[in-house]
Each structure stands twice: as C-alpha cells, then as structure tokens.
Amino acid sequence: MLRTLIRDALASEAPVADLTVCGWIRTRRDAKDVIFLEINDGSCLTNLQCVVDPDSPVREKLGGDGTGASLCVKGDLVASPGKGQRWELHAKTLRILGHADPETYPLQKKRHSDEFLRSIAHLRVRTNKYSSVFRVRARAAAAVHAFFRRNGFFWVHTPILTGSDCEGAGEMFRVTTLSPGEKDLSKDFFGHQCNLTVSGQLEAEALAMGLGRVYTFGPTFRAENSNTPRHAAEFVMIEPELAFCELPDLMDFAEDFVRSCVDEVLSTCPEELALFDRWVEPGLIDSLKTVAGENFARITYREAISILQKSGKNFEYPVSYGIDLQTEHERYLSEEHFKKPTMVTDYPRNIKAFYMRANDDGDTVAAMDLLVPRIGELIGGSQREERYDLLRDRILAMGQEASSYDWYLDLRRFGSVPHSGFGMGFERFIMMLTGVSNIRDVIPFPRTPGSLEF
C-alpha cells in the first residue's frame, strides 16, 4: 500500500498521474454527475477533495460509504476547477478498507462539544481540532528537543518507579505487587515501598553533576485530588538542570527556551494555529507572537507584593509580605498588570521547597516562577542549594531524616557546584500554544481523579 501523504499531495507543484492516497472520509457530497469525497489522513489539517464519477466502476466500489469510512484511492491529481482547493484527485480505482455505519458513528459533520468528544477520546483524533492539537503537541516536543540539543543538553531518563516517598512535590501513587491486605512491605517486589515519581529533579541534579546540562522529558504522576482544568494525575514534565548556573542565567535561559519553542511552533504549525485562532481562542496567534517577540516581565516577590497592594484590587486573599501568591494574584500580575509572561523571583524561604538556594538576605530563596496569561504557572524553578551544611539544615528543619537524602547530600560533599533548573508542565505549554483551556483536551487519553477510561 505505497501511498502519498495528503500533506505532500497538496504541496505538489504540478499535476501527478496515478497517485495513491489513503485516509478517512470526512464528508461526502453527491451530485448528479459527480461525487465529492473529502479525505483526511492525519498528515495535515487540510482534506484532499476526491472526485468520483457516478457512472464509473469506482462508484460501485464506493457504495454507500460516507463520513468515517476508511479507504484507499488511486487517481490523478489535477488542478481543481472548483473554489476552495488548488488540487483534487480524480479517482480511477478505489477500495473501502473499513465501513463506518452512519447510524452509529458518533462523529458528525458538525461541531461537537469538548465534553462529548472527551467521552469518545478514541475517536476525537479524527476531528480537525483534536488532530491539530496532537500534531502541535508532537511539533512542540520536537521543538523542545531541538532547543536543548542546540544548547548542549543531554536528554536523561530518570526513574518512574521510586523508593523515595518525599520528592517534595505532592501526593504519590503507590505501586505494589502485594496481594490486597498484605501489609508486610519486606515481601513487596522491591522489599520496601514503591511509588510513581512526582519529579525527576533530584536524579536530574545528579546527572547534571557529570553531564553538565541535562533535561528530563517524561511522565510524571501526582495522586492529588485536584479537579481543575489545569491538573492531571499523569502528565509530562520537562526538567532541565544546569551545572555552573546561577539564578540570573537560569532566568535568561528559561525565557530563551519558551520563546524559541513558541517561535518554532509558529513557523511549523501555521495551519493548526490558524484553526485555533479562528475557533478556539481568538487572538491566539498575536499573543504567541508577543511571547516570541517581547521580553518577559521580571520582578521580585517583594515587588510583586507591592504591585498587588497598590493595584486597588479587592482580592479575596489579602496581600501581605510572606503569603504565597494565590491564583487571583498571579492572574492579576500576568494578565492585567504586565499583560505578558511574568517571572517572579526571590520568594520567602518558608513558602518554597527545601532544595532552593538561600539568598544572602537570610529570608528569601533563589526561586523563579514563570506566570503566563491564561495558563498560570507554566514554569517553577530555582537555583539549588549547593552548600552541604545549609541543605542538611533545611532537610532537618523540615523534620526529615538526613539519611533519606544521603545520595542527594553526597552531590554537595563531592565537587559541588552552583546549579539551577526548572520544571515545565508540557501540557500547560500545549494549552498555551493551542488556546485549549482544559488539560484533558491536550492529552490523548487523560487521567484525572475518578477517570481512567481508555
């Protein structure tokens, strides 16, 4: 079944004889002297119009099949006399591969709600919107890898199964081979408790201490009962870790990273972005161009508090130095005050994770969050505490056993270096790129509390 991708057929510079195309019928229009089939094979957003002569044997092969059926068509690619497309395929032979009963095939030639399509996640990739989302997802992943590769990074694979129950990033899923009711963890597969990872950061730090620049790009699991359009139980996180890097360099790097990837998707997915701009999020392309073209706003936590206090806004959560920024505060900063991606740095130590590097003021840590309009927190990162004594003290202050962090502390005992890194939720990045407002709609088969379909 040697076939031409519709993407390539549509890009043709000249007519082509005897082209074979395979795909799914999106719509069928019958006329007296001609039948039009719009065929999509997923290679691009645009359908290929296929013309069938009702008096030909091809017509008999087509039968009554319409929307949803899969087929192979061989024919001549010729300039289309009709409006709306440059090329069309005049079918000479046709073979239906799989029927789709129109009475029961759920996808119609009309717009469906996201909620309904989510209930048929195995079929929604056959729609314009969702095929576009997943094409953009793949292109964005490629852009991420390309950026890191250009900048001397190595992709590392950190464990998905972990014996640590304190990676410091939320509730974990337990993994066990024990029978229900069996409590003796020494009889479990690993001889002790096992969880799904909530972050590859600690291991990435270790790898950065030899490879210099590394990044993770893989699955992450959070057992938090979060029911919001921005959280999933299983998602993909990107965590670069840079040796010999302090916070200001990390900020420059993070900004360069986001802007480069946005820019690359703008140039590789114009059709898809145009569809999102038209149907999903008006103004999307302009806002992405702004992200790619303008510097991000940068403020310290202290400045953020000051801006919020002077805003005249009546926030539900009162603003004072020392509080953690709430969603309403983050939205005000990035959506109303700066109206663009905003980096907030140097948070009070006691609202941030133990591994963040203490600043000289004795009060704040070298942390950095990137707040993006519509998305919220896209990136959270920091310079890591590389000083053994200070890190151990923080672990003890949390009430943790230092022995649980032996290997992590070792990184500070042997050739410790200043280093920094951040985590970016890949799906949140896709939401930003596509304008899709629910994380469940940028993951092919999303896992959320109470939902494990497909």
Does the protein bind RNA through residue 218 (CB under 7 A)? no
Q: Which of residues 375-414 bind RNA (CB under 7 A)?
A: 376-380
Q: How far is the CB of 104 from RNA (least distance, A)?
A: 8
Which residues 6+ apart lie within 8 Å of 225 measured at CB? 449
Q: Which of 317, 321, 445, 454 binds RNA (CB under 7 A)?
A: 317
Of positions 8, 188, 263, 328, contacts RNA by CB under 7 A: 328
The phi, psi pair for 167, rounded to 5°, reads: -75, -5
3-state secondary structure of 260: helix
The 8 Å CB, 24+ separation contacts for 125-129 are 125/42, 125/444, 126/24, 126/40, 126/68, 128/45, 128/275, 129/275, 129/276, 129/279, 129/280
Beta strands in 309-449 (DSSP E): 342-345, 367-372, 376-383, 419-425
The least CB distance from residue 319 to RNA, in Å, is: 12
Q: Which of residues 12-31 bind RNA (CB under 7 A)?
A: 27, 29-31
Q: Tell whether residue 112 is a contact of RNA (CB under 7 A).
A: yes
Which of these segments, 129-137, 244-252, 325-333, 406-414, binds RNA (CB under 7 A)? 325-333
Could you give the string, one character per residue 230-259, with x where binding to RNA holds by CB under 7 A and - elsewhere?
A: xxxx-x-x----------------------
| Interaction of residue 225 with RNA, rule CB under 7 A | yes
Q: Which stretch binds RNA (CB under 7 A): 126-134, 285-293, 405-413, 445-453?
A: 445-453
Q: Is 122 in the site for RNA (CB under 7 A)?
A: no
CA of 193: how far to CAs of 67, 171, 200, 307, in Å? 51, 14, 18, 46
Q: Which is nearer to RNA, 226 or 400 (CB)?
A: 226
Which C-beta is closer to RNA: that of 227 or that of 350? 227
Q: Binding to RNA by residue 227, rule CB under 7 A? A: yes
Judged by CB under 7 A, does residue 82 bind RNA? yes
Under the binding rule (CB under 7 A), the answer on residue 312 touching RNA is no
Exactly one of 74, 118, 126, 213 binds RNA (CB under 7 A); which one?
118
C-alpha–C-alpha distance, residues 434 and 62, integer Å: 36
Question: Which is closer to RNA, CB of 390 or CB of 452?
Answer: 452
Give residue 366's identity as a one-letter amino acid code. A
Query: How many angstroms separate the CA atoms of 432 and 285, rounded?
Result: 11
In whole angstroms, the minimum distance from the beta carbon of 267 to RNA comes to 25
- Shortest reach from residue 34's CB to RNA, in Å: 5
**Touching RNA, residues 134-173 (CB under 7 A):** 169-170
Distance CA 394, CA 352 (A): 11
Q: One symbol per residue from 25 to 64: x for binding RNA (CB under 7 A), - otherwise; what is it?
A: --x-xxxxxx-x-x----------x-x------------x
Nearest to RNA of 103, 389 (CB atom): 103
Q: Where are the beta strands (DSSP E) in 244-320?
A: 297-300
The encoded tokens of residue 447 equal 């896992």
With CA atoms as reference, report the closest residue to 302 among 320, 326, 327: 320
For RNA, the closer of residues 196 and 379 by Cβ is 379
What is the separation of C-alpha 292 from the centre of its chain, rounded to a whole number of angstroms? 17
**Least distance (Å) between residue 390 CB and RNA:** 21
Residue located via tokens 């002790």: 192
**CB 356 → RNA: shortest distance, Å?**
11
To the nearest whole angstrom, how small is the minimum distance from the Cβ of residue 183 to RNA?
23
Element (H, E) at 221: strand 213-221
Q: Which of residues 409-428 bind RNA (CB under 7 A)?
A: 423-425, 427-428
In the range 343-382, which residues lie near RNA by CB under 7 A? 376-380
Q: Is 324 in the site for RNA (CB under 7 A)?
A: yes
User: How many angstroms separate the CA atoms of 448 and 439, rounded?
Assistant: 10
3-state secondary structure of 298: strand
How far apart are the C-alpha atoms of 208 and 148, rounded to whole Å?
14
Residue partners of 288: CB distance under 8 A and separation at least 6? 262, 265, 266, 273, 432, 433
Query: With CB under 7 A, what is the number of residues at the site for RNA?
Result: 74
